[in-house]
Structure 1
Amino acid sequence: MNYIDLHLHSTYSDGTLTPLLLVKEAKKHGLQAISLTDHDTMEGVSEIIAHGITYGVEILPGVELSAHIDSASIHILGYGLRHNDPLLLSRLESIQHARNLRNEKIITRLNDLGIDITKEDVDTLSQTGQTGRPHFAQILISKGVIHSFDEAFDKYLGQNGIAYVPRKILPAADAIRYIKEAGGIAVLAHPLTIDQSITCIPELVETLKGFGLGGIEVYYPSHSKAARKTLFELSRVFDLVATGGSDYHGHSQTGNGMGKTGKNQRLPYEIFEKLKSRLQTT
């Protein structure tokens, strides 16, 4: 059987592997198709498509947009977008600008706390110029301020951290519209990170469906068998495509391995075919 992974990150956002290394890793794990879904950028897509051709791995252009609806923070995956679309690229550039402004404020807060950190420190960790909180966590670890990513986010960078700075993010309706206007399909990412009990997810999905949502990420490492069953039923009720992926960020990440969406669980190519079929009708 052929397998896929539709949720991967590279050095173009907060992953540790380049697009080339992701393709090589996919080939090693026997994956026939993958999607690069970096945070708020598609800069690595042309590169990974070229490497996919070389190594015989099918590539679906993707992105993961941060968004909000009411007070809830959510992520929207976009698949099959025109990754060189001028309007989309302009919109993504605006999102990156907001991210950069946030980084400057985080640096100021850390400096005020007596932690010596500069913009150059952060930028040197990024091979692409895009930086975020994971890069700050790496620096805090390297300086001996904390000992782990979890500690970095719990104490400093997470929502309850003393150096936390909220970032201006898109309304969910806009995130979905941006994806659709670039020819893609919008998918709600890892729903259980929004509500572990899933009780509020049906209402959320119904609202997002009204904005143009086209799918739900049903298969994800932290989703139990029962959760997957519930989410799949939701996708059926609302006529949404069911997708999945590992949310793989590289070798340094604990937990999710490429191509795995749970213990001994891999995604069959059939899921990719259904997504492509839905894309043809959007």
Structure 2
Amino acid sequence: MSNIDSIKLKKIIKSITKESCPNTINFHIHSTYSDGSLTAKEIYNQAIELNIDHYAITDHHSVDAYIELSKLEDATLNYKLSFPKLWTGIEITCLLKGCLVHVLGLGFDHKSKYLSPYIDNKSAIGNELLASTVVDSIHKANGIAVLAHPARYKLPFDILIDEASKLGFDAVETWYNYERANNWIPSEFVCDKIFDCANSYSLLSTCGTDSHGLSLLRR
């Protein structure tokens, strides 16, 4: 991915509302390359069936699903179509203000040397475990750094978002279903509070189902 792709992705993220997920945009999906139930090909097929515009497979410390689907798209007619658009994605575990959190990387160059500590299917250690290092690595790979589901951690989301802003995060995963309901909708109250908090720091808001099961429409 290039700087131009990063700019395009930021424009897409700026268009996200609480109604965007799961039918239009889904930037948090897991495949069997980490702890998901769907293969990369099954996710690809569902994205087409559901007419999703933009999606990313954000496996834990792995970009193997993206690599597989890139090869698949090169060999099919769907590669020539505008949508669904597959973006690079990853979910990285790190420490933010001493709290273990997850960071989503989106739209990065999956071949970048800067991401090599994070794509070997295991958590980083030492300095590479720090959120500041993770964000810097994602940025050097021309990607966007997103604080995932900020209301799922030991520290309050406002404290984490404040720290994320100081470290140069680009966005917050604002629209998220914390109740894990079968019919995916952003959780009332908390997501609106997160949205206001993110806006106060001029951070973008993303969305995703955090799918681990057999449907991209729910977690």
Q: How far, CA to CA, are the matches of 1:75 and 1:60 in structure 2?
A: 18
Aligned match of 2:94: 67
1:214 aligns to 2:170 (yes or no): yes
> Structure 1 residue 91: deviation in Å?
1.4
Q: How far, CA to CA, are the matches of 1:43 and 1:208 in structure 2?
A: 27
> Structure 1 residue 98: deviation in Å?
5.4
> Structure 1 residue 69: deviation in Å?
2.5
Paired letter, 1:182: A
State the TM-score, normalized to the length of structure 2. Answer: 0.75
Q: Matched residues, percent identical?
A: 28
Aligned match of 2:107: 80
Contact 2:150 2:161 in 1 (8 A): no
Aligned match of 1:179: 138
> Structure 1 residue 58: deviation in Å?
0.6
Q: How far, CA to CA, are the matches of 1:97 and 1:84 in structure 2?
A: 18
Q: How far, CA to CA, are the matches of 2:57 and 2:86 in structure 1?
A: 8
Paired letter, 2:136: R
State the TM-score, normalized to the length of structure 1. Answer: 0.59
How many residues are matched? 184
CA RMSD of aligned residues (A): 2.5
Q: Structure 1 residues 97 and 39 mapped into 2: Cα distance closer, same or farther (>3 Å)?
A: closer
1:203 aligns to 2:166 (yes or no): no
> Structure 1 residue 180: deviation in Å?
1.0
Q: How far, CA to CA, are the matches of 2:122 and 2:172 in structure 1?
A: 28
> Structure 1 residue 220: deviation in Å?
1.0
Paired letter, 2:88: P
Q: Structure 1 residues 20 and 194 mapped into 2: Cα distance closer, same or farther (>3 Å)?
A: same
For residue 244 of structure 1, the aligned residue among 196, 207, 211 is 207
Contact 2:174 2:207 in 1 (8 A): yes
Q: How far, CA to CA, are the matches of 2:122 and 2:67 in structure 1?
A: 22
Q: How far, CA to CA, are the matches of 1:36 and 1:14 in structure 2?
A: 12
> Structure 1 residue 87: deviation in Å?
3.1
Structure having the higher Rg: 1
Map 1:107-186 to 2 at 5 A.
Answer: 170-186=129-145
In structure 2, the residue corresponding to 1:76 is in which secondary structure?
Answer: strand
Q: How far, CA to CA, are the matches of 1:36 and 1:98 in structure 2?
A: 18
1:14 aligns to 2:41 (yes or no): no
Q: How far, CA to CA, are the matches of 1:78 and 1:14 in structure 2?
A: 17
In structure 1, the residue corresponding to 2:27 is in which secondary structure?
Answer: strand
> Structure 1 residue 176: deviation in Å?
1.1
For residue 232 of structure 1, the aligned residue among 190, 195, 204 is 195
Aligned match of 1:91: 117
In structure 2, the residue corresponding to 1:31 is in which secondary structure?
Answer: coil
Per-residue CA distance 1:125-163 (angstroms, 9 max, x = gap): xxxxxxxxxxxxxxxxxxxxxxxxxxxxxxxxxxxxxxx
1:37 aligns to 2:58 (yes or no): yes
5+ residue gaps, structure 1, are: 100-166, 252-256, 262-282
Q: How far, CA to CA, are the matches of 2:172 and 2:192 in structure 1?
A: 12
Aligned match of 1:258: 216
> Structure 1 residue 52: deviation in Å?
5.3
> Structure 1 residue 30: deviation in Å?
2.5
Q: Structure 1 residues 208 and 98 mapped into 2: Cα distance closer, same or farther (>3 Å)?
A: closer
Q: Structure 1 residues 227 and 52 mapped into 2: Cα distance closer, same or farther (>3 Å)?
A: farther
> Structure 1 residue 39: deviation in Å?
0.4
Q: How far, CA to CA, are the matches of 1:57 and 1:191 in structure 2?
A: 27
